[in-house]
Amino acid sequence: MTELKITAKKGTGFYIRAAATFLRGTDEKPPVPSVILSGTGSATTTVVETAHAIQKQGLAKITRVETGYPTTGGQSTARLAVTLTADWPFPDPSSYCNFDEVRVESYALDLEINFEKGILQGSIELELLAIQESSRLVLDTRSLSISRVTADGASASFQLGSAGRKSEALGEALEIELPKKLSPGEKAKVHIEYATAPDAVAIQILSPEQTQGKKHPYLFTQCQAIHARCLMPCQDTPGVKSKYTAKMTAPSPLTVLMSAVPEGEPKEVDGKRCFYFTQKVPIPSYLLAIACGNLASRRLGPRSHVWSEPEAVEACAFEFSNTEKFMSIGEKLFGEYVWGIYDLLVLPPSFPYGGMENPCLTFVTPTLLAGDRSLADVVAHEITHSWFGNLCTNRSWECFWLNEGFTKFGETRIMGNMNGADYEQLLLRNDCLKLSEDVALFGPEHEFTKLCPQLKGVDPDDAFSGIPYMKGELMLRHLEKIVGQERFEAYLRAHVKRFSGGCLDENDFKNFFLEHFSSEPAVKEVDWQKWFYGRGMPEMPALHSTLAEKVELLFSSLKGGYDGAAEDIKDWFPKQTELLLDRLVDYAREQAAAGKAVEVQGRLNAWNEAFGFDSTKNAEIRFRWLMLALACNDPSRVDAAIAMAQEVGRMKFTRPLYRELIKEPSRLPKAKTAFEAAKGSYHPHLGRKDSGRVVSLLPSVVWQTPRG
């Protein structure tokens, strides 16, 4: 968002022209979606006059007004900031594509993986359906090398990254002139030959030395949110769903997996292997996934396998042995599983998320391998995406919560079915704590604390956090409380049936919910506006969990001087231990703010002796223990915290560890050195966002963790 700082020295005409330049764009720079006019003292009058003039001219609308009285040099001065937002000229806030005119119904990929060059090279053939009369196709790309385009067999002219359709956030539009104008309902085929860039942020390639087996290279992709455009020219919006087929060629003896059903056995050709895939259920571009490496599998159930490098496959099969149970509960709650197979791929440690719900092939982090199945709830989350996200998809990233809030609700309900209602309440309590942390990181008045933030022209990765997950879950809990659990679960099945195969936004959801419960007077009192567009924390539900109460009792004892004993937590769920450590971290921060960090620091060794935190194999517990040590400035565990930040590329752990490390000036040199040494092994989603921010120590909200 661009800010114009206004002074009283220049008139409104100057600032109107400046704002117009930003809002309309130039040949060199694309338009910005909104501008902020700000001024202090007498300049506030110019702010008001300029803002109203811009709105009157139709350039943009006033969407937010902020006032304040900042103090400078002991004196308070009035400050005014006005946000003006222009109409976005494209049908999706995060895309340049013209899917309102022409839609991609299906596509066929024919790609070869070239590890030496670090690229994928080949072609894509798009089957188009005209929605309106149109003679052009506009696709999203980022750093692709386009060599040839044909339309229905004839050569087609194209332009890449024209004025107003190129930006750092959204990449470059590929504009193709079709040989003839399409009428509504008419179909066409476009064939594009291209190659990806070696630095494509959707792709990570690991050298043999970075893999567990140390013999073969490894490749995997991560397209959410808007990175499919790095892999292929596409309509990179969740508002378009397409079927696809793929032929993937890789060096022998490597295996290729995709977010689709394999077709037959791979074919050996000249030292290479060709793999074939079909995805018959239409999916948005962000769910395209490719992995290639030395991979082995074990069967988990009648429709599931787990894949990993051979060295870890047995441990993976043990850890995820409850997968079929999760699926069965999911089908009972949400309806039929339509994807055929549900496989898991355990990726190398650099995978930046807990899981990614690619259809037919969920990607998961190896940090889930605790040895006791205690972290498999991530799989319950990703399985729930088979209904919410993959079948019923948010129309744009401005309503991402419709994917993640529903899925978070479903995850906790599945785990409640597995472990009891009291356990479900424990999970919800933990989620509420996480939500308050995420809101605090952005600030309670930040746009990104809304369930439905404005993201026009913004990289959605910059807005992602736990907020759409937990705040969305709390909204659904609120609605469930109004109508009752049984009726709400029936609504979820109706919701899936209504939106299956399609997309929805918050208003589609609201309208269908009100229609479904049209005979229920209480739903008419729901403050939809506040839930969808309110900033900061929502109203917290009343929670009652005996499991959480046990945690609070032990927390109070430890805070009061008790050293703890192994028996205290012997029969606990790991989620209880996580809550205990979260509470201790908050306590340590309070003590540190009061200059008493050393008192907590002096207790750590006793707690470790009682509970064995230094030696835990559970990544969630290890992370919280190290965050506690850093919060009370324990020098003896700084190296352990740095080691975890370097070894694990999961952003949920890595970003907060670095954030906490750099709070203490004496740890700053080590943190910088550690990041510089490790950033080459981090996934591009982590490294590209954070390199400068760690080294320069900018206190930026993009350190917020987008996904588990």
Closest CA to 319 of 306, 329, 309, 334: 306
Burial track 217-229 (b if 16+ CB lie within 10 A, e otherwise): bbbbbbbbbbbbb
Whether 469 is catalytic: yes
* Interatomic CA distance for residues 419 and 407, integer angstroms: 18
Whether omega before 225 lies within 30 degrees of 0, making that bond cis, reads yes
CB distance 380 to 415 below 8 Å? yes
CA 17 and chain centroid, separation? 37
Q: In sequence order, what DSSP letters do the residues of 175-219 get, joined into one string?
A: EEEEEEEEPTT-EEEEEEEEE--TT-TTEEEE-GGGSSSSSS-EE
What is the distance between the alpha carbons of residues 192 and 188, in angstroms, rounded to a whole number? 13
Whole-angstrom Cα distance, residue 498 to residue 495?
5
- What is the identity of the amino acid at 436? S
User: Residue 569 has what DSSP assignment?
Assistant: G
Contact between 125 and 190 under an 8 Å Cβ cutoff? The reply is yes
Residue given tokens 């995805």 in the structure block:
279
8-state DSSP, 92:
S
- Contact at 8 Å (CB) between 138 and 96? yes
Amino acid at site 14? F
Give Cβ neighbours of residue 462 (< 8 Å, ≥ 6 apart).
448, 701, 702
| Among 641, 580, 585, CA closest to 611 | 580
User: Which of the following is catalytic: 309, 357, 382, 660?
Assistant: 382
Given CA atoms 437, 442, 445, 448 in this order, what sign does their dihedral have? negative
Whether cis (ω within 30° of 0) applies to the bond prior to 359 is no
> SS3 of 170, please?
coil
Catalytic residue among 107, 244, 469, 491: 469
Residues linked to residue 205 through DSSP beta bridges, in sequence order:
219
Q: What is d(CA 186, CA 126) in angstroms, rounded to the nearest whole number?
A: 14
Q: CA angle, 76 as apex, 73 and 79 as ends, to 5°?
A: 115
User: Can you say whether residue 161 is alpha, beta or left, with left for phi > 0 and alpha for psi between -120 and 50 degrees?
Assistant: left
C-alpha distances out from residue 688 to 97, 201, 339, 487, 691, Å:
25, 8, 34, 46, 6
End-to-end Cα separation, the chain, in angstroms: 27
Distance from C-alpha of 166 to C-alpha of 365, rounded to nearest angstrom: 34
- Our separate counts of H helices and E strands in the chain read 20, 30
User: Is the Cβ–Cβ distance between 611 and 605 less than 8 Å?
Assistant: no
Give the HSE-up count for residue 427: Cα atoms under 13 Å, Cβ half-sphere. 26
645, 674 Cβ separation under 8 angstroms: yes
Distances (CA, A) of 656 to 589, 635, 644, 660: 14, 17, 11, 6
**What's the CA gap between 614 and 146, in Å, rounded?**
52
Tokens 């056995």 belong to which residue? Answer: 265
Measured in whole angstroms, the distance separating CA 148 from the mean position of its chain's CA atoms is 33
| Tally of CB atoms within 10 A around 189 | 14
Beta bridge partners of 275: 248
Q: Which amino acid is it at 206?
A: L
- Which tokens go with 154? 């004839």
* 459: three-class secondary structure by DSSP: coil
What are the residue numbers of the active site?
382, 469
